[in-house]
Structure 1
Amino acid sequence: MTAKEYLNRIRRQNFILKQTEHELTEIRSDILTIRSSSMAEHVSGSKNSDIADKYIRLEQYMDKVNHEWDILINMRMEAKAMIKALPDPQQQAVLYARYINCKRWEDIASDMGYSWQGVFKLHGRALQSFEHMNKMLLCKE
């Protein structure tokens, strides 16, 4: 696995987490809509058990979100330690911004005071350094 592939796993996991959180928000909204409409109807019986079942599923989905968070946190912690070991602080900064903070290239360039080309060159050197320092780990992945 290359350094870029390794670090891009964090960006992908961040995207998965955001999508899962979005789905949770939608489910929560749907349940609240169902609950308010059933309360307005004052219907008893199976409607209440349906809502209870939905709350149970909502709890299960919240567990899924927490699991995705755990994965992302672990990935970030591992990658942060590896990035911090790079000798060049500018290389650390570009990798941290791109892969840990999931920033866009234009934001990284602006924040660091570089042109796009400058950021891409720095990023390329940073990936080479990262790969060189972590050959053994990247070979295992």
Structure 2
Amino acid sequence: MTKEDLKEIRRINAQLKRHRELLEYLTQKAETIPAIQPKERVQTSPVNSGNEDADSAIDLEIEIRREEDLLRGMQEEARSAFDREKMSFDERRIMEFRYLRCMTWEEIGGEVGYSVRQAIRIHGHVVDRMFKGKMS
């Protein structure tokens, strides 16, 4: 586990969130069939009946499953790295909230009873200790 791996956990989680939102949009779009209004001109070229959106949604679901598996694996690796480190209770909670639950600094500060600035500072000290002398 490297510093870059910890950053990658956050990146994958953010990408998963975006992909889930896009999947929701595509699913709704594929399930919606617009009605033809009586005064509308009828299009003579083929109309997208939602098949393209449905296909895109299926492809995105596959990608989401792959990303979820990757994220779970990286989080398990992070959990193992955290278990090997000597940390206080609050330090461990901050690291787990940040990388295993992918919480924001505001959420973490509220959970542990610290300001955002204090939580970030504690996190920085833990990361520095974890990777002191290691190439990252």
Q: Please report the TM-score for the alignment, with normalisation by the length of structure 1.
A: 0.73
Q: Residues 32 and 101 from structure 1, CA distance in 2 versus in 1: closer, same or farther, beyond 3 angstroms?
A: same
Partner residue in 2 for 1:59: 58
Post-superposition Cα deviations, 1:98-127, rounded to whole Å, max 9, x if no partner, equal 222222223222211223443233212211
Following superposition of structure 1 onto structure 2, how do residues 10-25 of structure 1 map, counting pairs within 5 Å? 10-25=9-24
Higher helix share: 1
How many corresponding residue pairs? 126
Q: Who is 2:96 aligned against?
A: 96
Let me know the Cα RMSD of the aligned residues.
2.7
* Distance in 1 (alpha carbons) for counterparts of 2:52 and 2:118: 55
Aligned 1:1-141 pairs, distance under 5 A: 3=3, 5-34=4-33, 37=35, 50-52=49-51, 54-88=53-87, 89-132=89-132, 135=134, 139=135
Could you tell me the percent identity over the aligned residues? 25
Distance 1:28 1:53 in 2: 11
Q: TM-score, normalised by structure 2?
A: 0.75
1:26 alignment partner, SS class: helix
Task: Report deviation, 1:6.
Answer: 2.8
The Cα of 1:52 is off from its aligned counterpart by: 4.5
Higher relative contact order (CA 8 A, sep 6+): 1
Q: Which runs of 5+ in 2 are unaligned?
A: 37-45
Deviates more, 1:10-19 or 1:101-110: 101-110
For residues 56-100 of structure 1, the C-alpha deviation after alignment (integer angstroms, 9 at most, x for no partner) is: 333222111111211211111111111122211332211111222
Could you tell me how far 1:37 is from its partner in structure 2? Answer: 4.0
List gaps (5 residues or longer) in structure 1.
Answer: 39-45
Contact 1:86 1:92 in 2 (8 A): no
